[in-house]
Amino acid sequence: MSRTLLLHIDGKDVAASDGASFTVASPTTGETLYDVAHATPADVDTAVTAARTAFDDRRWRGIAPRERARVLNRAAALLADRIDAYARLETLQIGRPLREMRAQLARLPEWLEYFGAVAQTAEGTVPDFGAGHLNVVRRVPLGVAGLITPWNHPLLITMKKLSAALAAGNSLVIKPSELGPAVPLALVGLLEEAGVPPGVVNTVTGLGATTGRALSEHRGLAKLDITGGTETGRTVAANAGRSLIPVTAELGGKAPVLVFADADLDQAVAGALFASFIATGQTCVQGARILVQRSVHDEFTRRLVARTRALRLGDPLAADTQIGPLVSEAQRAKVADAVAKAQDQGARVLAGGRVPEGEAYSRGWFYEPTVVGDVTPAQDLWYEEVFGPLTLVVPFDDEADALRRANDAEFGLASSVWTCDIGTALRVSEGLDVGITWINDHHRIDPASPWGGSKDSGIGSENGLDAYHAYTRPKSVVINSSGQPFDWFATTEDLRYS
């Protein structure tokens, strides 16, 4: 039986003003899980107004950072107690294996703790203003931030944005993905339980083209922060530009995995497998292009293909499932179409490449983990983000060739380099035009470590001090400490004023 999810505005759960709703279905069984309120532009406006009122009356930003941190730490403790329940909800909604969701969610209290600590330790500056003046620069919160989040890591991505924004004292309106709203909504209730005042965090559920659009076009925002597809990011950033507000955008990727001949091959294969198929490949840092030095390419590919074929697809709630369904019919079609087009353009399927057969897969959006070879930059698959369990393997000759191929991309989010030579690791990471490079690892994240990319992968970054600063602006107070009278219009002498 499906449950109803409502909007959360000014501390209250409310239906959409026109009573409209949409449904969220299980990607594993097709059964309806939730009936979700579909916020109208008027509801978005009510939410932004509630957030603005909470900002203006200082009910959250007026609380000393130390006390704000206490509230965030209480929320972290409450969250730690609810990991299993939330992980199950995430798995039901988006189909990612329960083991993955448990591992991911277990880390999330760290974001609240980290940004609580940052808020307490952040300091202003006193730049030299010359004799006779003292300049005190404090960083203050921006106002109402609009957060638009996707379905692939519903709580993680909401948490990355929300913890920095809240710690800095902002008020929020969150628009979670229409495919995975339940856990972000639950988090908002948890935050209020921990002591975040009602009205500070508001949630409007709805579709991107309606609710998301209304939020991104709202002139009452002071910041927009989105994770989503690159085209959505362009639209949202253009709206932010019209409002003259800053935007953080974490968008697409096509991460290269570079395997050098001197790498520990077992570890490199395990790393490439993890990079390609964690989250059923539905992640912006997915290892979507595996580049292997020619002398080990065939052996590496043989091992990767064998391990890919051995991955266990199935019910994501089952303890031994390694690959769940894709999140939606559209996402599976995107993968199937990309494989068909790659084959038409000359690529060769080495593993997978099919919708699995059998009763266990008949109702869900399953697709076999897939490895393709013989891909060249003349084929669309070299450049296009597919966002599913599909990767390609190609050989390279030397460092320069590896870098040339890796940087031949419209995206620049992440990459990994597998080598036992520290010089190779450092030179190659220096040469990669990306935001994140892992050496002998992939997809590691920490609240203190910047996460964002270059080129079409977006603007700005999440995590770390940069993300906190991006939720504040400098406020400069200049104090005349000279004790000297100043009367410009009383004299014709040359006086110093600028």
CB of 139 to ligand TXE, least distance (A): 27
Chain residues 72-111 in contact with ligand TXE, contact rule CB under 6 A: none
Q: Are 193 and 222 in contact (CB under 8 A)?
A: no
Catalytic-labelled residue, pool 250, 254, 334, 385: 250
Using CB under 6 A as the binding rule, whether residue 27 contacts ligand TXE is answered as no
Decide if 161 is catalytic.
Answer: yes
Using CB under 6 A as the binding rule, whether residue 460 contacts ligand TXE is answered as no
In this chain, which stretch among 34-42, 80-88, 89-97, 173-181 interacts with ligand TXE, using CB under 6 A? 173-181
Using CB under 6 A as the binding rule, whether residue 213 contacts ligand TXE is answered as yes
* Window 275-314: contact mask with ligand TXE (x via CB under 6 A): ---------x------------------------------
Q: Are 490 and 189 in contact (CB under 8 A)?
A: no
CB of 190 to ligand TXE, least distance (A): 20
Using CB under 6 A as the binding rule, whether residue 434 contacts ligand TXE is answered as no
What is the C-alpha separation between 312 and 425, in angstroms, rounded? 33
Task: Give the residue, chosen from 145, 247, 251, 258, that forms a contact with ligand TXE under the rule CB under 6 A.
Answer: 251
Q: How many residues bind ligand TXE (CB under 6 A)?
A: 28
Tokens 């019209």 belong to 242
Catalytic-labelled residue, pool 178, 254, 284, 334: 284
Using CB under 6 A as the binding rule, whether residue 387 contacts ligand TXE is answered as yes
Task: Give the residue, chosen from 100, 110, 250, 315, that forms a contact with ligand TXE under the rule CB under 6 A.
Answer: 250
CB of 457 to ligand TXE, least distance (A): 8
Decide if 217 is catalytic.
Answer: no
- Which pair of tokens denotes residue 353? 């490449």
Using CB under 6 A as the binding rule, whether residue 426 contacts ligand TXE is answered as no
CB of 71 to ligand TXE, least distance (A): 26
Task: Give the residue, chosen from 216, 276, 391, 416, that forms a contact with ligand TXE under the rule CB under 6 A.
Answer: 216
Decide if 420 is catalytic.
Answer: no
44 or 71: whose CB is closer to ligand TXE?
Answer: 44
Task: Give the residue, chosen from 46, 93, 104, 177, that forms a contact with ligand TXE under the rule CB under 6 A.
Answer: 177
Alpha-carbon torsion (362, 182, 239, 460), positive or negative: negative
Q: At what angle do helices 98-107 and 109-121 cross, to 10 degrees?
A: 20
- Which pair of tokens denotes residue 227? 């994770």
Task: Give the residue, chosen from 42, 64, 209, 400, that forms a contact with ligand TXE under the rule CB under 6 A.
Answer: 209
Using CB under 6 A as the binding rule, whether residue 236 contacts ligand TXE is answered as yes
CB of 60 to ligand TXE, least distance (A): 24
Burial string for 147-174 (b: 16+ CB within 10 Å, else e) reads bbbbbbbbbbbbbbbbbbbbbbbbbbbb
CB of 288 to ligand TXE, least distance (A): 10
- Give the count of alpha carbons within 13 A of 328, CB side only: 14
Q: Are 304 and 275 in contact (CB under 8 A)?
A: no
CB of 328 to ligand TXE, least distance (A): 8
Q: Are 52 and 142 in contact (CB under 8 A)?
A: no
Q: Are 146 and 215 in contact (CB under 8 A)?
A: yes
Using CB under 6 A as the binding rule, whether residue 437 contacts ligand TXE is answered as no
CB of 208 to ligand TXE, least distance (A): 2
Task: Give the residue, chosen from 385, 428, 464, 467, that forms a contact with ligand TXE under the rule CB under 6 A.
Answer: 385
What is the C-alpha separation between 39 and 48, in angstroms, rounded? 12
> Rg of the chain over CA atoms, in angstroms?
25
Using CB under 6 A as the binding rule, whether residue 178 contacts ligand TXE is answered as yes
Q: CA 261: distance to chain centroid?
A: 33
CB of 317 to ligand TXE, least distance (A): 23
- Give the count of alpha carbons within 13 A of 409, CB side only: 30
Using CB under 6 A as the binding rule, whether residue 41 contacts ligand TXE is answered as no
Residue whose CB is nearest to ligand TXE in the complex, by number: 208
Chain residues 140-159 in contact with ligand TXE, contact rule CB under 6 A: 148-152
Burial of 484 (0-12, 13-18, 19+ CB in 10 A): exposed
In a 3-state reduction of DSSP, which class is residue 337?
helix
Number of H helices, E strands in the chain: 15, 22
74 or 332: whose CB is closer to ligand TXE?
Answer: 332
Tokens 């277990």 belong to 106
In this chain, which stretch among 226-234, 259-267, 355-363, 398-406 interacts with ligand TXE, using CB under 6 A? 226-234
> Which amino acid makes up residue 476?
S
What is the C-alpha separation between 66 and 27, in angstroms, rounded? 43
Tokens 């031949």 belong to 408
Decide if 284 is catalytic.
Answer: yes
The CA-atom distances, in angstroms, between 289 and each of 158, 384, 433, 460 are 27, 11, 15, 24
In this chain, which stretch among 17-25, 136-144, 204-212, 437-445 interacts with ligand TXE, using CB under 6 A? 204-212
Q: What is the dihedral of CA 442, 446, 452, 457, to 10 degrees?
A: 40
Strand pairing partners for 476? 137
Contacts to ligand TXE by CB under 6 A: 148-152, 175, 177-178, 207-209, 212-213, 216, 227-229, 232, 235-236, 250-252, 284, 331, 334, 385, 387
Q: Which positions are catalytic?
A: 161, 250, 284, 462
